Structure 1
Amino acid sequence: MNSSSIILLASGNSLGAYIPAMHLHTYMQHRCVGTEVHVLENLYDEEIRRKIRLTKKAFHADFSVARMGHKLAKTVDTSLDEGAVQWLLESWKRDGATRFVVFTGFWLPILERYKSIAGSTLDIQLIRLDAWDTPSFKVHKQLYPDYDNFWFYEPSRLSPTSYIASDAVDPLPYGQRGGRILIHGGGWGIGTYARTISELRQLGFGLDVIVYDPAEVEEDDGVTRYFGTEASWDPWSRDAQGRHTFPPMLRYIREGGVLREFRLDDYSVYTELLRNCAAIISKPGGATLNDSLSYGVPFIMLEPFGDHELHNSTYWQSCGFGIGFAEWKAGGFSKLHLEEIYRRLLEQRSIINHYGEVYLCSRKQQLRSTL
């Protein structure tokens, strides 16, 4: 790392605080802008990470447990390995790190410590990919007002400000898409998404289902496709070169009761599923709102997880970018309604810029103003 690199502070606790960071990292790298991704869980000891894996399984198995866990969210200070934190702070100071883009509020106490030793002015921007405080910011409400908060979905304005993707390619025209529907439960596979699958299969919809557990894969019907993340991968894992990566994705096919796995080439195969789908069905997480806007995909929203997702759902429907599953069902699963939503998304997408471009332009302007 050098002093001009942008430090992207992510978390593996939620893919919603990891995948957007990886998209921004990819976007910046393609423009020869140095970035470095740090994942908070690498500052935990292995026992804490093991508990996270167990919690993810419990939340996936029972949505009511997940909702209760959300309400009990607290700061992560007691989970941190002080030696690992001290090493990171010293490495930032040694390298002269001054620019940070932060995807979860749980990093704030560490940044407070770095501010006290950095010896120079820091440029820190907090990414707010929800229309309300997530638990990671809510527990640090006394800290985050002192930072530069970049709200993608400002609650008082029904007009998203930006989006994040690995590129800035325009959404695929709706008529050129395959008409399939993408269904998932977020990075932890939670929510009521599984209930919709059999209902839509019976109606003849082509579905691409992202499963959390391969046991969810049904016998192949020639129409429904199943995908998932390789079980051994964690967001805090690094590859052989010591880099964080997008999750390795698999295609599952069950025939005659036998499950087979096929490794996808890379994560872009998954983003192509997004580009080509007619709609996304999931709980209203902030990263999925971002996918909806980035790729011009209508969002059919399921039961929210926590107050922030409830606000996300209200915001997205108020913008005309999504619809509740029950409402879509009551309207006869209208495809014309989805196409109308697509047109509104496309209009909004055409008047905003990629966050990476917004960030770089604003920093160039700041530099000019100081010369």
Structure 2
Amino acid sequence: MPPITLLASGFGLGFYVPALLIRNRLERSHVECETVVLEHYFHSEKKLKIPESRKAYRDDFATALVAQRLPMDVRDSFDPGAVEELLDRWEREERRDFIVLSGHWVHVLRRYERRLSGRYSLRVDLVYMDSEPSPSWKSLKKLVPDYADGYREIRLFDADRAAVLYRLPVGAEEPVPYERRSPRFVVHGGGWAMGTYLGKLDSLRRTGAGLDIVVSEPSEAEAGRAGDRCFLIDPAWEAWQETGPDGRHPFPPFGEVVPGRPTAFASPKEHHALFGLLREALAIVSKTGGGTLVDSLESATPLVMLEPFGSHERRNAELWERLGFGISYERWERSGFAIDMLHGMHRNLMKARESGQDYIQSRISG
């Protein structure tokens, strides 16, 4: 039987890390699969512009907010020869089972279907990581209004129904009991390290808790205080590179930044390294991307929510607050940074984990 093909993207780690989590879960169930990253099939000059955009968005969050509202059509970014080689291989191997995490991949899938001319049908899950479609899906809808015809749409989270519809388990370990956790907060800006999180450090330090801060470059670690730890994704790494020890896509290489010492980056096999910090923390302080919702739910770690990156993250924040899984930073600050509030959210998250349906298990059994 041909493997399940997981169609990921490096535009945001919220479309990349979940693909690897799905890969691991499938392989533990002895289901063969392959992860394919969108940007690998871009023209070289388009790939080179991605780090430039990332830096611009980190430096100016307002610019990033404007840019994500603009329609995106990535079809001109594809290298036609590379895409044809990919489709040749899929056709040769009779690939017919796909899980899609970025809307931009649908353009390629429709080309593949035209090639097949009805010789066999595809089984395609479109997995939405956010509680409303993120920009790649919204742009696709404008270009191809009927893009989901014949495909199954999977929503992990639904703001309208105020529900977690599916879980995406991370590793095999159960959440750490709240009473045994370290008095620390994990502070980050999502996969691209964007947003207002660095501006909250001084007020968070006044709580007396230790901070685990994910920075975007080593220089940001130099202004820390005793008790802080700073971590970094390897700046030289790009998601489309198959640099893992097994020749496949690795979890983001991650390491602690200690001034005066080279950073030792590592990519755990079971899950992204950040998750190990989240399991031990009292709270995640971050904007509300879909990947962060998965991390919060699977670690049962409350989410203190910062300014969202677009309407989809705003809807995510509304959902998490309504379900009692998170709280806005401003509201938590007005409470005097009450830890008891967070403990109650942890209990709510634990209950949700017990009742949630495992997406991969349902995919295998269905």
| TM range, smaller chain | over 0.9
Partners of 2:105 and 2:157 in 1: CA distance: 21
> For the residues of structure 2 that align with 1:145 and 1:264, how far apart are their CA atoms?
38
The match for 1:281 is 285
* Cα 1:165–1:235 shift into 2, 3 Å: farther
Equivalent residues in 2 for 1:104-143 (5 A)? 104-118=102-116, 119-141=119-141, 142-143=145-146
Q: Distance in 2 between matches of 1:15 and 1:331?
A: 32
Q: Distance in 2 between matches of 1:42 and 1:159?
A: 35
1:97 alignment counterpart:
95
Aligned counterpart, 1:144 = 147
Aligned partner of residue 25 in structure 2, secondary structure: helix
1:365 match: none
Please show how residues 1-371 of structure 1 align to structure 2 within 5 Å.
Answer: 3-118=1-116, 119-141=119-141, 142-146=145-149, 147-219=151-223, 221-239=225-243, 241-254=246-259, 258=260, 260-264=262-266, 266=268, 269-362=273-366
Q: Secondary structure at the match of 1:74?
A: coil
Q: How many residues align?
A: 357
Give the drift of 1:220.
5.3
**Cα distance in 1 for residues equivalent to 2:272 and 2:302:** 20
- Supply the distance in 2 between the matched residues of 1:13 and 1:132 (Cα, whole angstroms): 18
Structure 2, unmatched stretches of 5+, are none
Whole-angstrom CA distance in 2 between matches of 1:153 and 1:166: 16
The change in CA–CA distance for 1:265 and 1:125 in structure 2 (over 3 A counts) is closer
Stretch moving more, 196-205 or 290-299: 196-205
SS of the counterpart of 2:237?
A: coil
Shift of residue 219, structure 1, vs aligned partner: 4.6
Q: Bigger CA drift: 143-152 or 97-106?
A: 143-152
Secondary structure of 1:353's aligned partner: coil
Native 8 Å contact 2:325 2:348 kept in 1: yes
Give the 3 Å change call, closer, same or farther, for CA 295–204 of structure 1 in structure 2: same
Letter in 1 for 2:54: K
Spell out, residue by residue over 1:292-339, the C-alpha distance to the aligned partner (whole angstroms, 9 max, x if none).
Answer: 111111011000111111111111111111100000000110100000
Return the offset for 1:250: 1.3
Please state how far the C-alpha of 1:156 moved relative to its aligned partner.
2.7
User: Does the Cα contact within 8 Å between 1:101 and 1:125 map onto a contact in 2?
Assistant: yes
Secondary structure (helix, strand or coil) at the match of 2:212 reads: strand
Paired-residue identity, %: 35
Whole-Å Cα distance in 2 between the matches of residues 268 and 75 of structure 1? 30
Deviations 1:320-367 (A, max 9, x none): 1110000000011010000000111110110113221121121xxxxx
Q: Is the 8 A contact 2:7 2:99 kept in 1?
A: yes
**Structure 1 stretch 173-182 or stretch 39-48: which is displaced more?**
173-182
**Regions of 4+ moved over 4 Å:** none
TM-score, normalisation: structure 2? 0.94
Alpha-carbon distance in structure 1 between the residues aligned to 2:313 and 2:249: 27
Equivalent residue of 1:18, what SS?
helix
Q: Give the direction of change, closer, same or farther, for the CA distance of 1:197–1:220 in structure 2 (3 Å limit).
A: closer
Q: TM-score, normalised by structure 1?
A: 0.92
Shift of 1:71: 1.3
Question: Where does the alignment leave 5 or more consecutive residues of structure 1 unmatched?
Answer: 363-371
Given that 1:26 and 1:166 are in contact with CA atoms closer than 8 Å, whether structure 2 keeps it comes out as no
Amino acid corresponding to residue 148 of structure 2 in structure 1:
P
For residue 269 of structure 1, report the CA deviation from its aligned partner.
4.1
Deviations 1:111-130 (A, max 9, x none): 11111223211100011111
Q: Deviations over 1:209-252 (max 9, x none)?
A: 11111111035533110001111110001126531111111111
Question: Considering only aligned residues, what root-mean-square deviation do their CA atoms show, in Å?
Answer: 1.6
Deviations 1:79-109 (A, max 9, x none): 1111111111111011011100000101011
Please tell me the residue identity of whatever aligns with 1:15: L
